[in-house]
Amino acid sequence: MKSIAVFCGSSSGTDSEILETSYLLGETLAKRNITLVYGASQLGIMGEVARGVLDANGQVLGIIPHFLKTKEIVHPSLSELIVTQNMHDRKVQMYDKSDGFIMLPGGFGTMDEFFEITTWGQLGLHTKPIGILNINGYFDHLLAYCNAMVTRGFLKQDHLNAVVVDDTIEGLLEKMKHYKPLPAPQWLNKERL
């Protein structure tokens, strides 16, 4: 993988371990020559990941919709900045520019990005790896909810298994490196989309 999109919060949260690990993820991506693709903010978890990459002399591509672009939000040291018309275009650009995706802690926006890209994978629109870095158990409840969807017949176990999860950076990147995508759904004609 040459580039990974990271979905994460623009808030810092209340857990210092999440902030520290987010910075370390950025540092690790830079050391592996993997470009960070993210939402362009210098705030919160987003800012920590970018700072980790930049401090290790890595490449950072920020993608932000026009209405959010202000001097207070956009990271001033990005390698490249793409400004989109809206949030949907931002997600499409993040998808196009990335070879894989990692979700770090965040709120509704992070969940939106994660569930949309996961749904695209479920529909066979892409075969890129999607990972969850479960720092300090942050996603335990989300994973339990996803297991409940399987138990109650709303999600196939194979689709849940297609999302790789680990509580360490190295473990997650290794799983993503060896990711084997699901076969494309037989019922889906992608040319009709």
Residue 160 pLDDT: 94
Q: CA angle, corner 62, sides to 57 and 67, nearest 5? A: 150
Residue 157: inside a domain: yes
DSSP-derived 3-state class of residue 54: helix
Reported confidence tier of residue 191, pLDDT bands at 50, 70, 90: low
Q: How many domains does the chain have?
A: 1
Mean of the pLDDT values across residues 131-149?
97
C-alpha 13/C-alpha 22 separation (Å) is: 12
Q: pLDDT: is 27 or 193 the higher one?
A: 27
Reported confidence tier of residue 185, pLDDT bands at 50, 70, 90: low
Residue 148: inside a domain: yes
Residues 83, 66 contacting (CB under 8 angstroms) = yes
Residue 181 pLDDT: 84
Query: For residue 97, what is the domain's CATH number?
Result: 3.40.50.450
Residue 84: give the domain boundaries: 3-178
Mean of the pLDDT values across residues 180-192?
65
Reported confidence tier of residue 193, pLDDT bands at 50, 70, 90: very low
Residue 193: inside a domain: no
Residue 166: inside a domain: yes
Residue 187: inside a domain: no
Residue 190: inside a domain: no
> Using N-to-C axis directions, what is the helix angle for 169-177 and 16-31, rounded to 10°?
50
Residue 149: inside a domain: yes
Residue 192: inside a domain: no
Strands 163-166 vs 100-103: parallel, antiparallel or unpaired: unpaired
Per-residue pLDDT tens for 3-56?
A: 999 999 999 999 999 999 999 999 999 999 999 999 999 999 999 999 999 999
Per-residue pLDDT tens for 67-122?
A: 888 766 899 999 999 999 999 999 999 999 999 999 999 999 999 999 999 999 99
